Amino acid sequence: MKLFSRKDKTEADGPRVELLVEGMHCNSCGLLIDDELEEIPGVRSSTTDMKAGRTTIRLKEGADLDVAALVAAVEQAGEYKARPAG
């Protein structure tokens, strides 16, 4: 895991998945989650808003990712609980 590596968040195209995340205590929690998600092949970028308790994941076009794998990655980043939004 690369700690706090930042991908270009300006790329807004591609499919989007939103997760609700519980257990974050500070902005560093969000950065840890983003780093974990961005290590997954097929993920273009991840942006986590600690105050909103939400993570927005942008996927590469044609990426075939299961939402359960994204939830598992969030929970692997620390003591967080995640579920699909909506």
Q: Consecutive sets of 10 residues in the chain, 86 residues long: mean pLDDT of each? A: 53 83 95 96 96 96 92 96 94
pLDDT of 7 reads 53
**pTM of this prediction?**
0.83
pLDDT of 12 reads 57
pLDDT of 26 reads 93
pLDDT of 53 reads 97
pLDDT of 5 reads 52
pLDDT of 86 reads 80
**Could you tell me which residues come within 8 angstroms of residue 48 by beta carbon, excluding any fewer than 6 positions away?**
21, 24, 29, 30, 31, 33, 34, 54, 55, 56
**Residue 13, number of CB atoms within 10 A of its CB:** 9
